[in-house]
């Protein structure tokens, strides 16, 4: 109880990554939760890891667990809820193909001093960490060639960052177009951190991300959208609500390296088409919303954002009962 917690969703039997996370978590004093799905092995067992199968999830008492579709990455939300219920002071999320480096377990701070950027529109943060031609999954395609402001021109300032995205080496989070056209592996420099504030967009993923309790309600992953967009569209909603609170999103040096699970790149491409076509418009629609500041407003703001995404046809209407269930579960946890 009250331990920082690593959350992963997986249908794999215990593999090398999961074993390394379990070992590292034990040494660092973390809890480790693996959220299974219908394809997960029924006999999953790994020392240092708590596995939650579908039946256990549905018996958790969470309304969300009973409503969320199976065979979907959004079941990871149940792991977040369990960690919150147990009083985790920090949640780290990653995937079952990301090997943690030693720095993954280092102490983290919500308040940092970093190179900061506001009102810059879409920003290809990867360009601050490498000279290679590369961009993060979810960046609008017509922004690929846009160079961000010079790193040396950025003001270094104290920033409050309750959401922090670590990069990944070897096989970083890029879209299918990149994987089809450009070489991998790629690695990033270790000596920079960049905080994006109000008016500066960059997609972030769910592969190496730290969350502090004040931002926990924003961890919600939508279920009724493309699998390849669930964490990306979450990141847009999160950024927009973070702006209303004066928070920045920190992007920092890689603390994992990825040995990517097998994927069909053409299937990934098809699943990413809604993002290629709509990510810029989603950012614009979210920018226009009137949101209220304050952590007590996070739930209301989350509803406003997802109602907008549903009304514009980007996410299915069945998402809204899930959002309500998520917020009801959060309210029950808070009691």
**C-alpha closest to that of 129 among 74, 172, 78:** 172
Question: 50 and 196 in one domain?
Answer: no
State pLDDT tens for residues 108-141: 999 999 999 999 999 999 999 999 999 999 999 9
Phi, psi (rounded to 5 degrees) for 220: -55, 125
Domain that holds residue 264: 97-334
Q: Is the pLDDT of residue 262 over 90?
A: no
Are 79 and 114 in the same domain?
A: no
Q: Tokens 């007590």 belong to which residue?
A: 296
Looking at residue 124, its pLDDT comes to: 98
Do the Cβ atoms of 215 and 247 come closer than 8 Å? yes
Same domain? For 204 and 297 the reply is yes
Which among 12, 83, 19 is positioned nearest to 46, based on CA atoms?
Answer: 19
For 216-231, what is the mean pLDDT? 97
Q: Please indicate, yes or no, whether residues 142 and 271 belong to a single structural domain of this protein.
A: yes
Domain identity same for 72 and 148: no
**Short-list 195, 173, 28, 190, CA closest to 110:** 195
Count the domains in the chain. Answer: 2
Q: Residue 199: left (phi > 0), alpha (psi -120 to 50), or beta?
A: left
Backbone φ, ψ for residue 34 (5° rounding) = -115, 125
Last residue of a domain, one of 72, 93, 114: 93
Q: Cis check for the bond before 232: say yes or no (omega within 30 of 0).
A: no
**Residue 266 near residue 176 (C-beta atoms within 8 A):** yes
Q: Residue 263 — pLDDT band, cuts 50, 70, 90? A: confident
Stretch 65-89: mean pLDDT: 97
The answer to whether residue 160 scores a pLDDT higher than 70 is yes
Of 57, 74, 93, the last residue of a domain is: 93
pLDDT number for residue 117: 97
pLDDT of residue 1: 61
What is the pLDDT, as a whole number, of residue 261? Answer: 81
Do both 43 and 122 map to the same domain?
no
**312 and 167 assigned to the same domain:** yes
User: pLDDT (tens digit, 9 = 90+) per residue, 13-50?
Assistant: 999 999 999 999 999 999 999 999 999 998 999 999 99
Shared domain for 115 and 84, answered yes or no, is: no
Asked if 101 and 89 sit in the same domain, the reply is no
Which pLDDT score, from 0 to 100, does residue 335 have?
A: 87
254: region left, alpha or beta (phi > 0 left; psi from -120 to 50 alpha)? beta
Q: Rounded to whole angstroms, how far apart are CA atoms 90 and 21?
A: 16
- The answer to whether residues 169 and 289 belong to one domain is yes
Nearest Cα to 10, choosing from 47, 52, 43? 52
Whether residue 218 sits in one domain with residue 69: no
Confidence of residue 215 (pLDDT cuts 50, 70, 90): very high
Q: In which band, very low, low, confident or very high, does the pLDDT at 99 lie, cut at 50, 70 and 90?
A: very high
Q: Are residues 222 and 132 in the same domain?
A: yes
* Per-residue pLDDT tens over the stretch 278-320: 999 999 999 999 999 999 999 999 999 999 999 999 999 999 9
């Amino acid at each position: 109880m009250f331990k920082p917690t690593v959350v992963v969703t997986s249908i794999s039997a215990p593999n090398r990554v999961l074993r390394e996370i379990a070992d590292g978590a034990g040494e660092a004093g973390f809890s480790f939760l693996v959220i299974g799905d219908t394809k997960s092995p029924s006999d999953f067992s790994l020392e240092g890891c708590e596995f939650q199968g579908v039946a256990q999830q549905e018996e958790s008492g969470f309304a969300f667990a009973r409503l969320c579709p199976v065979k979907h990455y959004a079941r990871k939300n149940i792991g977040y809820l369990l960690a919150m219920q147990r009083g985790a002071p920090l949640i780290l999320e990653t995937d079952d193909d990301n090997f943690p480096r030693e720095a993954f377990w280092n102490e983290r701070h919500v308040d940092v001093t970093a190179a900061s950027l506001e009102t810059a529109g879409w920003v290809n943060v990867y360009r601050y960490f490498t000279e290679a031609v590369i961009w993060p999954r979810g960046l609008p395609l017509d922004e690929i060639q846009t160079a961000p402001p010079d790193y040396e021109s950025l003001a270094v300032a104290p920033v409050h960052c309750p959401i922090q995205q670590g990069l990944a080496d070897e096989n970083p989070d890029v879209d299918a177009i990149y994987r089809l056209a450009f070489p991998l592996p790629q690695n990033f420099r270790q000596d920079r951190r960049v905080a994006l504030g109000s008016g500066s967009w960059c997609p972030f993923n769910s592969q190496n991300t730290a969350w502090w309790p004040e931002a926990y309600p924003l961890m919600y992953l939508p279920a009724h959208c493309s699998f390849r967009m669930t964490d990306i569209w979450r990141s847009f909603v999160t950024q927009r609500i973070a702006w209303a609170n004066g928070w920045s999103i920190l992007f920092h040096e890689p603390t994992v390296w990825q040995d990517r699970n097998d994927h069909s790149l053409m299937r990934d491409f098809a699943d990413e088409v809604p993002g290629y076509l709509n990510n810029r418009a989603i950012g614009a629609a979210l920018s226009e919303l009137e949101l209220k500041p304050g952590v007590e407003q996070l739930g209301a703001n989350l509803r406003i954002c997802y109602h907008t995404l549903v009304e514009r046809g980007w996410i299915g209407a069945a998402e809204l009962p899930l959002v309500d269930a998520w917020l009801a579960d959060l309210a029950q946890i808070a009691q």
